[in-house]
Amino acid sequence: KQEVTQIPAALSVPEGENLVLNCSFTDSAIYNLQWFRQDPGKGLTSLLLIQSSQREQTSGRLNASLDKSSGRSTLYIAASQPGDSATYLCAVSNTGNQFYFGTGTSLTVIP
Amino acid sequence: DVKVTQSSRYLVKRTGEKVFLECVQDMDHENMFWYRQDPGLGLRLIYFSYDVKMKEKGDIPEGYSVSREKKERFSLILESASTNQTSMYLCASSLARRSNQPQHFGDGTRLSIL
C-alpha cells in the first residue's frame, strides 16, 4: 500500500520568503500526484496535479515538481503572503482513481 | 467551477442512531468519494463509486455503507453510529477513471457522536 509522508508537520516563515514543502511516497509507480490546500474547518482546494509523465507544474506563485525515481515531490511557494497560511496536503494515486494522502504541513506566514 | 455540496456542516447524533450524510456534485462527474479526516491520521478513504449503483470499498469501510442512485448524489450511511465515528467527513468527485483530472472536495461535515 502506498504511504505518503510530509515533513515538517508545521512551518513558520516571515512574509516575502520563498519556501519549499516536501512530500515523499513509498511506491514510485504512480499515476499522478496532487497538491491541495486546506483552510481550518474547510474542505480541500486543488492547487496542482502532476501526471506521472511530467516533471513539474506551475500556477502563479506555486511550482510543484515530481521525481518518481526518488519518490519525492516538492511544492515551491514564491514570495509568501499571510494569505498563504493553511495546511498543504500531498496526495498520490497509483491507479488514477484512489488517492493516498499525507498528513499535511501546516504553514504560517508571519506578517 | 465544480461545486461539491455536503448537506450539513455540523451534525450531532447519538450512539446507535442511523446517520445519513449527503453529497451532491454539479459537474456530471463519474467518480465520487467519501473520506474521513482525523488528526494525525490524515484523510482515509471509506468508499468510492465510479457509476450509478456501483460502489467499491476503500481502506476503512467497516461500520459504513453507501448509496448512489443518481449520478450526482453519493450518500454515506452510518448503520449504527458509534463514538469512534466522530470525525470530519469529506466528499469528493472527479471526472472519470484514469482521467488525470483533479479531485474536487466539499466543505466537509463535522460529525459528533455522543
* Per-residue pLDDT tens digits for A27-73: 999 999 999 999 998 899 999 999 999 999 999 999 999 999 999 99
Query: A42 and B108: CB-CB below 8 Å?
Result: yes
Q: Tell me the three cell numbers of residue A77.
A: 511557494
Three cell numbers at B93?
468527485
Which cell numbers hold the place of B7? 448537506
Task: Tell me what pLDDT residue A98 has.
Answer: 83
pLDDT value, residue A84: 97
* Residues from chain A contacting residue B107 (CB–CB below 8 Å): 42-43
Residues 6+ positions from B84 with CB-CB distance below 8 Å: none
Could you report the per-residue pLDDT of B29-88, keeping only the tens digit for each? 999 999 999 988 889 999 999 999 899 999 999 999 999 999 999 999 999 999 999 999
**Neighboring chain A residues of B41 at a CB cutoff of 8 Å:** 103
Q: What per-residue confidence (pLDDT) applies to B4?
A: 95
| Sequence-distant (≥ 6) Cβ neighbours of residue B1 within 8 angstroms | none
Between CA A62 and CA A71, with CA A67 as vertex, the angle to 5 degrees is 115
Q: Residue B102 is nearest to which of A34, A103, A104, comparing CB atoms? A: A34
On whether any CB of chain A is under 8 Å from the CB of B103, the answer is: yes
Mutation for testing the B interface, residue in A30, A44, A52, A53 having most B CBs under 10 Å: A44
Chosen from B88, B100, B104, B111 to mutate, greatest number of chain A CBs within 10 A? B100
Q: Say if residue A94's pLDDT is above 90.
A: no
b/e A17-53 (16+ beta carbons within 10 angstroms → b) = eebebebbbeeeebbbbbbbbbeeebbbebbbbbebe
CB of A42 less than 8 A from some CB of B: yes
Rounded Cα distance, A12 and A18, in Å: 12
Partners of residue A34 in chain B, C-beta under 8 Å: 102-103
**B95: pLDDT strictly greater than 90:** no
pLDDT at B102: 87
| Chain A contact present for B61, CB below 8 A | no
Q: What is the pLDDT of residue A1?
A: 82
Smallest CA–CA distance, residue B25 to chain A, in Å, is: 14
Q: According to the model, what pLDDT value does residue A96 have?
A: 72
